[in-house]
Amino acid sequence: MVYLEQEDEYRWRIPARGNMRVPGRIYASEAMVQDIKKDNAPKQVENVAHLPGILKASIAMPDVHWGYGFPIGGVAAFDADEGVLSPGGVGYDINCGVRLMRSNLDKADVIDRLEDLSLALFDAIPSGVGRGNKKRSLSDRDLEGVLNDGANWAIGAGYGRRADAEVIEEGGAFAGADPSRVSKRAKERGKPQLGSLGSGNHFCELGYVAEVYDEEAARAFGLEKDKVTVMIHSGSRGLGYQVCDDALRMMMKASKKLGITLPDRQLAAAPLNSEEAQKYFAAMACAINYAFANRQVMTHEVRQTMGKFFGEDDVRLGFDLVYDVCHNIAKWEEHEIDGVMKRVCVHRKGATRAFGPGHAKVPARYRDVGQPVLVPGDMGRYSFVLKGTEKAMQETFGSSCHGAGRQLSRAAAKRAAQGRPIFEELIEKGVYVRSEKRSTVAEEIPEAYKDVQNVVDVMEGSGIAPKVVKLVPLAVVKG
């Protein structure tokens, strides 16, 4: 059992004990903590606190649940000289992330055409386990461009608008990529999959702005009540998975060779200045860029599909990119440690960057209000856009939650959905869902997830990331 001390309404502390180098901190309401305790996630928060060079605390967001090594919803920052890099702190789906588009369409323009619209989007965007994109398979040269330049390669190849890169985290191209560090097998898996959703909880969702909580921030983000939006959630597909798999084998050997004591072998890590860490970082950067390009190509497909469906130029329809955020990532950032700005390596696994107003990394158009934070919920309820704050910079290394967080395993969700007309249930809620397989939708039924309203209420109540707008789904293509 992991002992949790309640600090205040939304913060819970795991005191440092034994070989823990820092305490743990979990952001959650009292009701949520009871469920979190039933999972193995608090123990993983405690385990992460043992890693060399960890700073301040091992942190978990309110959507926290058990993961590989680090919990999903975990955040940890490491000292540049004494810290480590851990693939388990990034995850298998490197740069799984979310992007949001806003449009000039009103809800009334689409509400009577959702069945046809959902089919059009389903036809345009490949989805499902192992599925690739039949319209394109990358050449060796193109793949090299993707791994080096990310979304900027896609934009240069005609998949998007130049302005898109201004509102993608890291400008859509993560520095430090070296394609020579990506294995042949990873490249083979990535070539046919660019511009596809993948499986599981990945999706392309047509929705609308149902509520506005912060008029100033919503105006800055270009989000208006009742306007149609599109959210895309996907990552680096088989390429990123293989990069992680390759790195874990290397890191396990490195941990043993270097005598790093670990409470869990899944936390395999190497010092940030080691050859092993630098090899993984360079390959991870390539996977990050692949994911940026992947979401960029799908953005282009959505715009083309909507333009064709409504018989209008997609630019006139809008579908401007609001923002694109990363989830599973490790990156160098500047943060204040004991009153001094330091360069640290921040691991965010199932967590979203949430930089506050005035930060140079926030796009200029949003700098007065803070970075958009995109938090998808389940396909039957709602999602939220939050904004980053100075409080997040002080407490969580500029991080927030990334979604609702599972509360049922995929197997349990399938059992709960057995015999139910799940597609019809969702249509009754006003949501048209398309998927290659019924089993995929069964795994993703709304009750498989925490109510994301409760999750974002913790972020708002703690001052980390207040709500800006609520988005309600209308049509969903599932991975």
Could you tell me if residue 472 is left (phi over 0), alpha (psi between -120 and 50 degrees) or otherwise beta?
Answer: beta
* Residues 39-71 pLDDT 10s: 889 999 999 999 999 999 999 999 999 999 999
Residue 378 belongs to domain spanning = 5-478
Contacts for 421 with CB less than 8 Å, ≥ 6 apart: none
* Residues 371-410 pLDDT 10s: 999 999 988 899 999 999 999 999 999 999 999 988 888 8
Contacts for 136 with CB less than 8 Å, ≥ 6 apart: 194, 195
Q: pLDDT value at position 258?
A: 86
Q: pLDDT value at position 38?
A: 86
With CA atoms as reference, report the closest residue to 264 among 252, 250, 273: 252
CB 288 within 8 A of CB 146: no
Q: pLDDT value at position 128?
A: 63
Query: SS3 for 304-363, per residue?
Result: HHHHHHHCCCHHHHCCEEEEEEECCEEEEEEEEECCEEEEEEEEEECCEECCCCCCCCCC
Mean of the pLDDT values across residues 99-123?
Answer: 96
Q: Are strands 58-65 and 24-27 parallel, antiparallel or unpaired?
A: parallel
Number of other residues whose CB lies within 10 A of the CB of residue 147: 29
* Residues 164-196 pLDDT 10s: 999 999 999 999 999 999 999 999 999 999 999
- How far apart CA 151 and CA 298 sit, in angstroms, is 11
Mean of the pLDDT values across residues 321-345?
Answer: 96
pLDDT at 199 over 90: no
pTM of the model: 0.95
CA distances, 227 to each of 287, 315, 318 (Å) = 33, 15, 11
Mean of the pLDDT values across residues 6-11?
Answer: 96
Q: Which CATH number belongs to the domain containing residue 294 in this structure?
A: 3.90.1860.10
* Residues 376-386 pLDDT 10s: 998 889 999 99
Q: pLDDT value at position 135?
A: 66
- How far apart CA 208 and CA 155 sit, in angstroms, is 26
Contacts for 53 with CB less than 8 Å, ≥ 6 apart: 78, 79, 81, 82, 83, 84, 272
- How far apart CA 136 and CA 194 sit, in angstroms, is 8
Catalytic positions, written as ranges? 402
pLDDT at 436 over 90: no
Q: pLDDT value at position 132?
A: 59
Count of domains in the chain? 1
pLDDT at 439 over 90: no
